[in-house]
């Protein structure tokens, strides 16, 4: 993740995730039931994927949103 604005937004949203994964800014939703994989918003053009293991969130990837024009 090389873009400073994306990094700043990601770190902000990780703090929301730590407090409550249902925070409205995250728009978190389960995207793969079999792998217990969740997706949340970084900003309009970026998403991050994570797993929930017990009370721990494991961030797996931060990627451009497939429908964004980056």
**How much is the pLDDT for 17?**
95
Average pLDDT, the chain: 90
Rounded Cα distance, 28 and 9, in Å: 15
Rounded Cα distance, 29 and 2, in Å: 25
Q: What is the mean pLDDT of residues 28-44?
A: 94
Q: What is the pTM of this model?
A: 0.85
Contact 30, 22 (CB under 8 A): no
Show the domain range for 17: 4-64
pLDDT digits (tens, 9 = 90+) for 44-69: 999 999 999 999 999 999 999 877 55
Asked whether residue 69 is domain-assigned, the answer is no
Q: Count structural domains, the chain.
A: 1
Asked whether residue 44 is domain-assigned, the answer is yes
Asked whether residue 27 is domain-assigned, the answer is yes
């Amino acid at each position: 993740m090389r873009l400073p604005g994306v990094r700043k937004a990601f770190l902000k949203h990780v703090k929301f995730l730590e407090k409550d994964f249902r925070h409205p800014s995250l728009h978190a939703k389960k995207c793969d039931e079999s792998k217990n994989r969740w997706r949340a918003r970084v900003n309009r053009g970026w998403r991050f994927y994570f797993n929930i293991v017990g009370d721990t969130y494991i961030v797996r990837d931060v990627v451009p949103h497939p429908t964004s024009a980056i």
